[in-house]
Amino acid sequence: MLQGLCEAVLYVNDMAKMVDFYRGSLGLTLTFPQGVEDFADQHWIMFDTGQCTLCLHKWEQPLNGSFNPELVYKVQDIHAAHAWLQGLGITPNEPHEVAPGIWIVNARDPEGNLISFEART
């Protein structure tokens, strides 16, 4: 029945700041909307991440901690990912092995959502 995960939706308050982070800092490719540069009034943004689309959805009400997503990005070299994040001014934790051969680095986006980077050895 299932053919894979196609979208991950992240509810955000400050759309412009979050687009700047995911497109500008992390380098994701914006796929929707096209031709827009001011994202403050946009309510739906889509980024290509490879296997799955990351969607940002503007949430008009304050987010009170009831949403606790974690976005996990696949990387080839966990130590290179750690250094890359530090170079962007992001403060990740140290790379750590969570299971045999599975290494993770965690950080936070501008609204405090957990973002993780995973490498398998």
CA angle (15, 91, 116) in 5-degree steps: 70
Give the number of domains in the chain: 2
Q: What is the CATH number of the domain that holds 47?
A: 3.10.180.10
Q: Is the pTM of this model over 0.85?
A: no
pLDDT over 70 percentage in the chain: 91
Handedness of CA 95, 98, 102, 105 (dihedral sign): negative
User: Residue 104: which pLDDT band, with cuts at 50, 70 and 90?
Assistant: very high
Average pLDDT of the chain to the nearest whole number: 90
Residues 91, 27: Cα–Cα separation, whole Å: 17
State the amino acid at position 77 in one-letter form: D
Whether residues 3 and 48 share a domain: the answer is yes
Q: Identify the domain containing residue 42 by its residue range.
A: 1-61
**Residue partners of 67: CB distance under 8 A and separation at least 6:** 11
Average pLDDT rounded to a whole number, residues 12-22: 96
> Is residue 33 predicted with pLDDT exceeding 70?
yes
Residues 86, 57: Cα–Cα separation, whole Å: 27
